[in-house]
Amino acid sequence: PVASLRLSTGADIPAIGFGTFADVIVPGQMQAAVLAALDAGYRHLDCAWYYKNESEVGSALQSWLTANPNVKRKDIFVTTKVWTHLLEPDDVEWSLNNSLQNLKVDYVDTFLIHWPFASERTDDREVKLGADGKYIIKKELTANLAPAWRAMESLQLSGKTRSIGVSNYDIHHLEALLAYAEIRPAINQVEIHPYFPNTELIEFCKMNDILPVAYSPLGSQGQVKDLEGLEDSKVSVLTDQTLAEIAKMKSGSVAQICIAWGTKRGYPVLPKSSNPERLRANFEVLELSETEFEQVNGIANRLGEKDGKGLRFVNPKGMFGLDNWKS
């Protein structure tokens, strides 16, 4: 089995998880992908209300567990997240209940606040957009998410989630949270890949006993269009020359190098693929030598960015129309 990392709660989280976000929902495809992932040995599923496919993921999980009675629910680490429009305390609870129902489980292993801002919802709990098509930000709740965090804490106490955490929090968001948290976040799930190593944030998390978890570890293929002022072709991690050379030397793929680099840095990574062969290959762990590891570390600094921090593909400003987003 793949290695695990330990959360501040004492629970273990497998170092490679299966991401279930899909840009385009094709009926039946996620179910097939989750079955293939569980068959390949993945024991960590990353889900969210926002992905709109938790009932498919849940059906796959349920039927796979029935067909594989020596693996139990407790052997699989399940994550879900609450979206920005459901951050009023009652809605936070509703969101987890909704995810549990769709996932067909009676608890999740971790429940995360998906983004550090709150937005308006419709009466039937969908995202409410303004006339300009942008999210309508709830300014007061966004400025102080403590009521949402209190709701998260009581959900952990209720046992419906074994741990709680956040996603897409920068250092200043975490500092604000740590000032009022009675139960501290176990996880901060953020974008990390060789073009966006996110080193400062990772160090802050580790100092505070928060485990970083890497989404888009392969460089976020589907999201390149969100980058401001750069052509798609310039920013593909999977076709990076240096990574390709290392991959060739090791008879592996660039994706495997990205995954190996992440696990060597000491956090779980969440590659996603709907292709059974690629998802199997992504689960085969390669070991990087120190030299190879340093070569990958050097990539972000080669990108020509003034601050050497690299390129963040998932850009909340562009995605949600947040003019005042401060990273």
Active site members: 51
- Dihedrals φ, ψ of 137, to 5°? -75, 135
Choose the binding region for ligand A2P from 50-58, 91-99, 137-145, 275-283 (rule: CB under 6 A): 275-283
Binding residues for substrate: 114
Q: Which is closer to ligand A2P, CB of 73 or CB of 280?
A: 280
Helix, strand, coil in percent for the chain, rounding step 5? 45, 15, 40
The one among 50, 273, 288, 316 contacting ligand A2P by CB under 6 A: 273
The one among 8, 29, 221, 242 contacting ligand A2P by CB under 6 A: 221
The one among 78, 113, 118, 218 contacting ligand A2P by CB under 6 A: 218
Closest by CA position to 264, among listed 241, 243, 290: 290
The one among 73, 138, 184, 278 contacting ligand A2P by CB under 6 A: 278
CA distances in angstroms from 38 to 9, 118, 270, listed in the order given:
25, 34, 14
Closest by CA position to 86, among listed 48, 58, 59: 48
CA distances in angstroms from 103 to 12, 18, 136, listed in the order given:
21, 15, 29
Choose the binding region for ligand A2P from 9-17, 117-125, 136-144, 265-273 (rule: CB under 6 A): 265-273
Whole-number minimum distance, CB 28 to ligand A2P, in Å?
Answer: 15
Hey, which residues between 17 and 76 contact ligand A2P (CB under 6 A)?
A: 19
Tokens of 164: 């709680």
Q: What is the SS3 string spanning 283-319?
A: CCCCCCCHHHHHHHHHHHHHHCCCCCCCCCCCCHHHH
Hey, which residues between 283 and 312 contact ligand A2P (CB under 6 A)?
A: none
Whether 143 and 111 have beta carbons less than 8 Å apart is answered as: no
Whole-number minimum distance, CB 92 to ligand A2P, in Å?
Answer: 26
Whole-number minimum distance, CB 274 to ligand A2P, in Å?
Answer: 4
The one among 173, 265, 272, 312 contacting ligand A2P by CB under 6 A: 272
Q: Which is closer to ligand A2P, CB of 17 or CB of 58?
A: 17
Whole-number minimum distance, CB 226 to ligand A2P, in Å?
Answer: 12
Choose the binding region for ligand A2P from 125-133, 182-190, 196-204, 274-282 (rule: CB under 6 A): 274-282
Whole-number minimum distance, CB 97 to ligand A2P, in Å?
Answer: 28
Hey, which residues between 234 and 263 contact ligand A2P (CB under 6 A)?
A: 238, 253, 255
Whether 134 and 193 have beta carbons less than 8 Å apart is answered as: no
Q: Which is closer to ligand A2P, CB of 165 or CB of 219?
A: 219
* Kind of pairing between the strands at 4-6 and 12-14: antiparallel
What 297-306 contacts at long range (C-beta under 8 Å, 24+ apart), as own/partner pairs, is: 297/197, 298/242, 299/194, 299/195, 299/240, 299/242, 299/243, 300/194, 300/195, 300/196, 300/197, 302/242, 303/195
* Kind of pairing between the strands at 187-191 and 164-167: parallel
Whole-number minimum distance, CB 19 to ligand A2P, in Å?
Answer: 5
Terminal C-alpha separation, the chain: 37
Binding residues: 114
Site string for ligand A2P, 93-132 (x = CB under 6 A): ----------------------------------------
Residue ranges that bind ligand A2P, judged by CB under 6 A: 19, 216-222, 238, 253, 255, 271-275, 278, 281-282
